[in-house]
Homo-oligomer: A and B are copies of this chain.
Amino acid sequence: MEAYEPPYYAAVFTTVRAEDQSNYSETSAHLEDLVKDVPGYLGVDHAQTPGGLGITVSYFRDADALTEWRTNTEHRAAQQRGRLQWYQAYTLHVAKVERSHGFVRTDAQQSPTAG
Interface residues of A: mostly helix, strand, loop or mixed? strand
- Identify which of A10, A12, A92, A114 gathers the most chain B CB atoms within 10 Å of its CB: A12
Please tell me how many copies of the chain the complex holds. 2
In the complex, what's the smallest C-beta–C-beta distance from A15 to chain B, in angstroms?
A: 8
Distance in angstroms between the alpha carbons of A45 and B9 in the assembled complex: 19
- Residue pair A97, B97 in contact (C-beta under 8 Å): no
Instruction: Say whether B96 contacts A92, CB under 8 Å.
Output: no
Chain B CB within 8 A of A27 CB: no
State the A residues within 8 Å of B (CB).
1-3, 9-10, 12, 14, 16, 18-20, 22, 45-50, 52-55, 57, 59, 83-85, 87-105, 109-111, 113-115
Q: Which one, B83, B97, B98, contacts A109 given CB within 8 A?
A: B83
Contact of A95 among B2, B48, B54, B97 (CB under 8 A): B97
